[in-house]
Structures are given as C-alpha cells and as structure tokens.
Structure 1
Amino acid sequence: MAEAVLDVVLGNLSSFIGKELGLFLGLDQDMKRLASLLTTIKATLEDAEEKQFSDRAIKDWLQKLKDASHLLDDILDECAYVALGLEYQGVKVQSSCLSSFHPKHVVSHYKIAKKMKSISKRLEEIAEERTKFHLTETLPERRSKVMEWRQTTSFVTQPQVYGREEDVDKIVDFL
C-alpha cells in the first residue's frame, strides 16, 4: 500500500523535474533531493510491509510515511495548480524566472517553498527513523516479467491439423 503511494508521488516528482516546473518555482533542488530520498526509502518498503504485522513500531512508521507522502502529493498538486494558473494568465512557465518575481506570484511561491521545506524535513526524519528498524533493502523486481503462458499477442497463429487436410480444405472452401 505504501509502495503504491510512493510510486505515484515519485511519478509526480519526476514529471515536475522533467517539465522544469520545480526550477520555475525555485524548488528544483528540493524536488531532486526528495526524489532521491523517496527512492532510498522505497528500497526498504517490501521488508517493512512484511514486518508490519509482527512489529507495531514498523506499522506506525509506515503510516507516518503514507501520511507524509500524501502531504507531498498535495503540495505537488498545488504546484501544478499554480503553474496552470500562471500559464492561463499568459506567463510562460518554462521561460525565464524573471516573470515569477511578480508580487502576486512571490507570495504563492513562498508558501509552496515553505511547505516543501517542511515536508522535506519530515521525510528526512522518517528516513532516519527507518534505520532503527534494521530493514533490508531489496532491489525492485521488474513487474513486467509475465509468465510465458500468460503472454498474449495480436498475431494469429495457424493451427497445425494432421490427417484431416481434406476436411480442412472443405471447410475453407465453404467459408
């Protein structure tokens, strides 16, 4: 469950970094640091989710992580909203940062930056807390490994029929 939340948040962070919205809002380094931090936390999630049933402290830690991830997702949504509002007003989001120093925009940038710093600090504390549980890091498995018999394609294969060639020819001619 926590892994799904982190995947969504990491996807949103990557999107923001890729679109240079973080740079425009002055949050580029914070977003990159958060993405790195969440990736290291994600490496121990599988072990934590297995141990949460036997260890109440790990269960509480996972809940803190989920809560912080949801808050970060809300902040990223707010960033997207601000960027969309600026684009609607005619400000090019990926242009120079000079347009972002307009007095109307400075206040919203400051509020978002303050929230981002707060959630960064909270996630760093959660990451430090993770070390006391001695969770093992696992490499993420590729979920695209599909069993051979479950794979499907759009290619139609012609079945091999032995001993009934005449019947097959009659059916084909009939169709």
Structure 2
Amino acid sequence: MASREVMDYMQGKKQTQRLLDKLKSTLRSVNVVLDDAEEKQIINSDVKEWLDELKDAVYDAEELLSDIKTEVLKRKLEADQSGSSISKVQQLFSDSFLSFDEGIEPKIEEIFERLDFIAKEKDVLDLKVGVARRTKMRLLATSLVEDSSVYGREEDKERITKLLLSDDVIDDRISVIPIVGMGGIGKTTVAQLVYNDVRVKQHFDLLAWVCVSDEFDIVRVTQVICGFVTLRTCDIADLILLRYPRKTVGGYLQSMPSSVISAHPNLEVIGRQIVRKCKGLPLAAKSLRGLLRSKFSMKEWENVLKSDIWELSNKESNILPALWLSYYYLPPHLKRCFAYCSIFPKGYEFTKSRLVLLRMAEDFSRQEKKKPLEEVGVDYFNELV
C-alpha cells in the first residue's frame, strides 16, 4: 500500500484513499492475533479454516494492489515513449484511469467487507492479542562448515554393515534391509553412514544410491539403478527389460536418544527438558537447536517448553511438534518464503539464485533502504538456511 505507484494513483482520490485506510485498519486488527491463531490452528480446525479464509482475502487484496501498480507503470511507460510533457502525462493518467477507477473502488469495497467480517470472527474464536517477540537470526561469519557428527547410531550402523558384508545368501533372491521409523528419526542418515563405510565400498564391486520420493515411480528408480550399472543414461521404459526387482520385507531398527547441551548454564535445565520432549528424534533436536540458538531469554525457552504443540497426537498431525515449533517462531516474511518451497517435489534440486528470483516475482521480498531486492532475497535465504 505504501509503494510509490499506489501512492501516485491515490492522489486526488479521496474516496478510494478512505477505503484503503479502512482496509489497512482492518488488517492491523487481525495482525495482532495472528500468532495465537497460528498456534491454535494445529488443534482447532475452526481456527485453521479462519486462517485459510484470511489468507485468501489478503491474496485478493494483494492482487488488487498489483493491478494498480501495473496500470500506473504501464501508463508511465506509454507517456515516456510518446515523449509527453508532465502536464500531458497527468492528463493521460486522468483520462485513462476513468474506466479503471470504475472497477477498482467496488473491488476494494468488496475486499474490505470480506476482511471486516473475518476480523469480527476472531472474537468468536477467542483469539488473543499478543505478538511473539521474534529475534532475527544472523549467520556467524566463519569458514568452517557445520559439524555433522552423528551420535547414538554406531550400533545400528554396525548391525546393518554386518548384514551387508555377510556371505549368507538364500537362493538368488534380492536382499532388502528396511530401516523403519517415523519421519526425522534418522533413517536416511544411518543409510548414508553404511553406504559410505570403507568396508562396504571395498566389499562390493558397484554401489548405487537412489532416492525414492513420496510419488514412487518404479520405472524411474530402476532406470537410475541401470544408469549406475551401465554408466549411461537409461531410457528403457519396459519393466521386463529393466529387470523388475523382487522385494522382501523384514527387520526393524529401534531409535536411540540424542542429547543437546546448552551453551548457557542458566538455560541448560530447560534445554534438557525440551530435549526429552524430542523423544530421541535427531531432526526434532536439530530443528529446535536452530530455533533456540539465537534466543537467550529464559522466557523464550520456557514458551517453547510449555507450548501446546507438544501435546499433538499422530492423529491430529503427521508433522513432528518440534518442526511445527520451528516454523511457528519464524518471522512472518520468512514463513512465506519457507512455505513457497512446498511447490517443489520431494528431492527436487533448486539453486539459490533461481529461488530468490521466483520469490521476488511473488513480491515476497520487502524493500529495504539502500539494498536491492535481490540482496534482500539472498538474506532471507541465508536466514532460513
């Protein structure tokens, strides 16, 4: 609303300006309860539906403002190309916006009424006012990469490695060693440890690593395996020609607890209680470490420890509570940037520069003084990393 194009458009349009001011005021009244709504939506479907309706209405408002900016820029470009004087440009704006204005004000009125209705529902849902204090995360300048040591998986790794190195062969059947457990327990990490073990590399003539996504495609997976074997791109689409693999299932690996030690003694007691809530899940502990590493207040740590999100059951959500928390405490502008990544399929590789440009196209980067939008987008990316 504060962009130069929108401000230029508003000059002399008192009724339109009043409508936008009312819209802005309504958005402020909703904004103060967003934090409470985002936490409650996990266990309250009515709140989740309210948030979804709010997002839809805000997106419509954003689209309307984008139309205004586009129209203003288009008219300025036409004026520049025609070499018109300032007075002629003003006249051009006045004439060309007549038809545009007729459609804009009713749209603003409609969006305002919709948002006003949604805003009044916040009282029915008992949403509380209060914005959580969120500190901006900053990367430490260092040439060292993050320590990727793995704890508590030595026994699991050895058991699987011994199975792989065993000469016990039953007929000519393909052996499968499944590693079973909920998301974040460290299944992939154990597989990577085994795959990169020197003994395993020396024992087998050929090793192949294939990532299977949620949308399982047996043809694609088998093509990748054949590519490892032949060292060529495999385009065969016939499963029989691809030697369709037979599968056997069995085995189960137990999880082992991880531990996190706080860098601040006064927070260690709370930190250990939070770790116990992670129930031995490495991904949970790692994500909360990223969340809490920039927070040094006892109150902030206690808020995480006592959050209702921990009480979620598997039936209510298939997302780890610790991951919900790490998302919940993100600043609003980073939430949008993070959620945008969900449009990519699992396992999809993207580059930082392309992702930054895509987010810029969606107007996710907020303008900062003396800083190009692309640099702002890179800052957002680094904060999320």
- TM-score normalised according to structure 2 size: 0.31
Instruction: Name 2:2's counterpart in structure 1.
Output: 14
Tell me, in whole angstroms, the C-alpha distance in 2 between the residues paired with 1:92 and 1:81: 21
Q: What is the aligned counterpart of 1:44 among 33, 36, 39? A: 33
**1:81 to 1:134, Cα distance in 2 relative to 1, 3 A:** same
Q: What is the aligned counterpart of 1:80 among 64, 69, 88? A: 69
Q: 1:128 aligns to what SS in structure 2?
A: helix
Instruction: Name 2:110's counterpart in structure 1.
Output: 118
**Root mean square deviation, CA, Å:** 3.0
Q: Is the CA contact 1:44–1:136 (under 8 Å) kept in the aligned structure 2?
A: yes
Q: What is the aligned counterpart of 1:64 among 48, 53, 60? A: 53
Count how many residue pairs are aligned between Structure 1 and Structure 2: 135
- Offset of 1:31 from its aligned partner? 2.1
Tell me, in whole angstroms, the C-alpha distance in 2 between the residues paired with 1:29 and 1:105: 18
* Letter of the structure 1 residue corresponding to residue 8 of structure 2: L
1:164-175 alignment to 2 at 5 Å? none
- TM-score normalised according to structure 1 size: 0.65
- Offset of 1:139 from its aligned partner? 2.8
Q: Is the CA contact 2:35–2:131 (under 8 Å) kept in the aligned structure 1?
A: no
- Normalized per residue, which structure has more helix? 1
Q: What is the aligned counterpart of 2:42 among 53, 57, 60? A: 53
Tell me, in whole angstroms, the C-alpha distance in 1 between the residues paired with 2:85 and 2:119: 36
**1:20 to 1:137, Cα distance in 2 relative to 1, 3 A:** same
- Offset of 1:116 from its aligned partner? 0.9
Tell me, in whole angstroms, the C-alpha distance in 1 between the residues paired with 2:54 and 2:106: 20
Q: 1:141 aligns to what SS in structure 2?
A: coil
* Letter of the structure 1 residue corresponding to residue 66 of structure 2: D
- Offset of 1:97 from its aligned partner? 7.1
Structure 1: where are the runs of 5+ without partners? Answer: 1-12, 154-175
Tell me, in whole angstroms, the C-alpha distance in 2 between the residues paired with 1:92 and 1:136: 54
Q: Any runs of at least 4 consecutive aligned residues in structure 1 with deviations exceeding 3 A, and if so which?
A: 95-101, 150-153
Percent identity of equivalent pairs: 23
Q: 1:89 aligns to what SS in structure 2?
A: helix
